[in-house]
Amino acid sequence: MNTNDVPSPVRILVAVTASLGVAALAIRLPDIPTWERGDVFAVLLLAAGTLIAERFSIPLRHGTEIVNFALSDAVWAAGLLLVRPSVLTVAVLLGVTLGQVSQRRAPYKIAFNVGQFLVGITVAEALFGVLGGGSITDSWTWTLAFVAMGGCFVVNASSIVLVVSLMEHKRFIDVLVPPLHINVLHWAGNMVLGILAAVAWSTSAAAIVLLAAPIALSFAAYRVRVASVKERNDWRRMYEAGTYLSGPLGKRPDFQPFARLLEDILQAEAVELIVVEDEQVTVHGSRHKHTFRVIEGDPSSVDTLVSVRVGSTPTPQIALIGDEEQMHGVIAVYREAPLDERDSALLDNLAGQIALRLRNHRLFGETLEQARLAQIIGHTADGIFTVAPDGTVASWNPAMELITGCHRDRAIGRLCEEVLGPRMAETIASLPIAPTGDAKASDSLVERPDGSLRWLRVRAQSIRDHEHAARSIVVVAHDVTAEVQAEQLKHDFVSLVSHELRTPLTPLKGFLRSLLDGIVEDAPEARQEYYRIMLRQTERLERLIGDLLDVSQIESGNLLIEPKQIELGYLVRRQVGDFERQHSDRVRFHGPGAPLLVYADAMRVEQVLSNLISNALKYSPRETAIEVSVGSADGKAVVAVQDRGPGITEAEQERIFERFYRSDTATAGRTNGVGLGLFIARNLIDAMSGELAVSSELGDGSTFAFTLPLSYATSKSGRAASERSARVKAATA
């Protein structure tokens, strides 16, 4: 750990401990000049003993701090019984400092350890002095040394517990209690060894060799004990790591706590997991997390990554997360000692688990996204399909089936051109492919299996799947047939209506000018003829304007119908009579045997009939007759207008009732008309609860027939019509 990362309470504690250590040393300084050769020898011997004990210490990790099991205090217990306090203090100073430096401890740790040991030994020396330790051969003196060294133990243990609790943000008692019994045992063992060594030394120095056996034994016992504690901790941490890795898949993995666990298990300065996902690199440390974007072809983004300071100390030891097929990143372990076989195996195992976890997370995400996408694509009104790099259709959504009338089973796997026709395939091929964002659209026609045409507005975007380098194209097709038709209709309407308005206006204007300029023949017959022509043209204008008004009423739903009970036979006969007067020999009437009472608007029925008869006259040769008949069938009155004209193709028989639709067959060479008459007629008959239809054979004339409800038979529908009328009136009022 960096000195910079040390929390300030710990820094204060280190400073205080170091100062107390200096003070403890200062007390002994005046005594040093009185030393004899034996004292110097004793200092060197005890310092060497301390150094060796420190070097052979067995570390046991507590989070970020390491507590060492060493035999140092056994050496000091012997020193307490054998040498002057100043000698022991200086030996502790030298031994501990050298031991810590040789283990390359951080300076603040050395300062803290040396400080607290100096204070501890000074407390022990003081206690021993106060209790009045006597001859070394006296067992009472041994007890006193034991008690005095207890003071040293209390100082050492509590200062270490304090520093660990501050570093780990744990309660003092929680750090102190769990290892207390083993620490006390260890200390007591050391004391016995130390006192034994002192007694042996004072009686026969050679006997000290005999102590080698119990020392080696206790060292081995510590090691086993520490190893078992470590193993237990490792298992617990491994279990925690495993639970963590098997957490819920939907959550994006956060490896920060995992890095902390690994630091503990591997006893490393730091552990970092560097995870690569597409262009994103995330460094998860135990206390930090950075995310970078590495963009292909942008060297500066790679520089950012290289300059990441992944750790302050040693070169990292690395384990790969993933395999050659799919690499997810690396685990970097910063630790002085190289990883042994056990640690490496453990690290590789965890790296494998992380790789699995990342792979599962990615798969889960992809599956979820695919399901969501499929739902959206399945329910959208827009057609969406993909074209593989080889030009075949790879996917086809339900909206595409509706728009084109082509089932996905017939579309998928076939060439785009075969499915959508060459025109659309060409449009798609020439579309600008947008990698992201808004793509430019293009309109084109597709033919449905029933022969009808649809206008599609298509946009294309390229997509890249994980496996293939080549890019597919995703095409979004919006059915704009209605828009295109409306646009066309608007255009047709303006040109047709302006043409139709101009046609009668031109002769009207011409005649009026001639009359004004007095350049007309003055004969009354000629004038009469002029007035007749002008009246005809004015009526034509009036009709056209009337038609336009009707269309606007139909479209706004305000068509005005005033139904009454009328006698249909009489009404039709009268109107046929009017036509007969103008076209004496062409129009013939076939009346019903008895009066036919219907519930309808007389004016509107006349309007419809007039349109049908004039169409029949207009679109059939002059020499042919028009038959108009009135009768009844299925409880309805039926009026039919039959001509011997060119007839209407089957495909057009419905279309002629659309606004502005004019058939080429019948209208060839004729410009009179805007294609509104039948549209209005059908809407009027509908509004009077009847039906208007055509039956025709090409080359064999046409029969337009409409029905109206008989007033006695269908009083219900009559009422419906009258209710509608009332509604219409209310709406227009």
The maximal CA–CA distance of the chain, rounded, in angstroms, is 171
Distance in Å, CB of 391 to ligand ADP, minimum: 43
Distance in Å, CB of 710 to ligand ADP, minimum: 26
Distance in Å, CB of 668 to ligand ADP, minimum: 9
Distance in Å, CB of 452 to ligand ADP, minimum: 19
Between 646 and 690, name the residue whose CB sits nearer to ligand ADP. 646
H or E element that contains 562: none
- Cα separation, 524 vs 545, in Å, equals 31
Distance in Å, CB of 489 to ligand ADP, minimum: 14
Between 432 and 699, name the residue whose CB sits nearer to ligand ADP. 699
Between 311 and 673, name the residue whose CB sits nearer to ligand ADP. 673
Distance in Å, CB of 445 to ligand ADP, minimum: 24
Residues 252-265 as b or e (16 or more Cβ within 10 Å = b): ebebeebbbbbbbb
Query: In a 3-state reduction of DSSP, which class is residue 630?
Result: strand
Residue nearest to ligand ADP (CB): 673
Distance of CA 665 to the CA centre of its chain: 57
CB within 8 Å of 726: residues ≥ 6 apart: none
DSSP 710-728: BTTT-HHHHHHHHHHHHHH
Between 17 and 611, name the residue whose CB sits nearer to ligand ADP. 611
Distance in Å, CB of 696 to ligand ADP, minimum: 7
Ramachandran area for residue 689 (φ above 0: left; ψ -120 to 50: alpha; else beta): left
CB 266 within 8 A of CB 339: yes
Distance in Å, CB of 498 to ligand ADP, minimum: 15
Between 191 and 544, name the residue whose CB sits nearer to ligand ADP. 544
Between 174 and 700, name the residue whose CB sits nearer to ligand ADP. 700
DSSP 517-528: HT-S---HHHHH
- Neighbouring C-beta atoms of residue 676, cutoff 10 Å: 25
Distance in Å, CB of 642 to ligand ADP, minimum: 9
- Neighbouring C-beta atoms of residue 587, cutoff 10 Å: 22
Distance in Å, CB of 499 to ligand ADP, minimum: 12
Between 72 and 607, name the residue whose CB sits nearer to ligand ADP. 607
CB 660 within 8 A of CB 492: yes
- Cα separation, 433 vs 471, in Å, equals 11
Nearest alpha-carbon partner for 285 in 251, 310, 264, 321: 310
Between 264 and 652, name the residue whose CB sits nearer to ligand ADP. 652
Between 49 and 645, name the residue whose CB sits nearer to ligand ADP. 645
Between 424 and 648, name the residue whose CB sits nearer to ligand ADP. 648
- Neighbouring C-beta atoms of residue 151, cutoff 10 Å: 18
Under the rule (CB under 6 A), what is the footprint of ligand ADP? 611, 615-616, 619, 643, 645-646, 648, 656, 662-663, 666-667, 673-679, 702
Between 339 and 676, name the residue whose CB sits nearer to ligand ADP. 676
Ramachandran area for residue 236 (φ above 0: left; ψ -120 to 50: alpha; else beta): alpha
- Cα separation, 382 vs 479, in Å, equals 7
Distance in Å, CB of 528 to ligand ADP, minimum: 29
Between 223 and 491, name the residue whose CB sits nearer to ligand ADP. 491
Q: 298 to each of 276, 293, 304, 464, how far by Cα in Å? A: 17, 10, 11, 20
Between 144 and 616, name the residue whose CB sits nearer to ligand ADP. 616
Distance in Å, CB of 555 to ligand ADP, minimum: 16
Between 702 and 725, name the residue whose CB sits nearer to ligand ADP. 702
Any idea which residue has 């007039």 for tokens? Answer: 610
Which residue(s) pair with 334 in the sheet? 270
* Strands of the 692-696 sheet, one edge to the other: 587-590, 626-633, 636-642, 702-709, 692-696
Between 695 and 722, name the residue whose CB sits nearer to ligand ADP. 695
Distance of CA 568 to the CA centre of its chain: 69
CB 344 within 8 A of CB 352: no
- Neighbouring C-beta atoms of residue 336, cutoff 10 Å: 11
Which residue(s) pair with 478 in the sheet? 457
Any idea which residue has 């943000």 for tokens? Answer: 169
Distance in Å, CB of 558 to ligand ADP, minimum: 21
Distance in Å, CB of 660 to ligand ADP, minimum: 8
Distance in Å, CB of 613 to ligand ADP, minimum: 9
Between 57 and 667, name the residue whose CB sits nearer to ligand ADP. 667
Any idea which residue has 């022969």 for tokens? Answer: 451
Distance in Å, CB of 674 to ligand ADP, minimum: 5
| Terminal-to-terminal C-alpha distance of the chain | 89
Between 615 and 711, name the residue whose CB sits nearer to ligand ADP. 615
H or E element that contains 700: none
Kindly tell me the number of DSSP H helices and DSSP E strands found in the chain.
23, 19
Find the helix packing angle between 180-203 and 139-168, rounded to 10°: 140
Nearest alpha-carbon partner for 637 in 725, 719, 565, 728: 565
Nearest alpha-carbon partner for 640 in 609, 619, 618, 663: 609
Between 357 and 682, name the residue whose CB sits nearer to ligand ADP. 682
Q: 709 to each of 304, 479, 611, 712, how far by Cα in Å? A: 86, 40, 20, 9
Nearest alpha-carbon partner for 321 in 361, 370, 268, 364: 361
Q: Radius of gyration over alpha carbons of the chain, in Å?
A: 54
Nearest alpha-carbon partner for 609 in 681, 556, 560, 551: 681
Distance in Å, CB of 416 to ligand ADP, minimum: 38
Distance in Å, CB of 500 to ligand ADP, minimum: 9
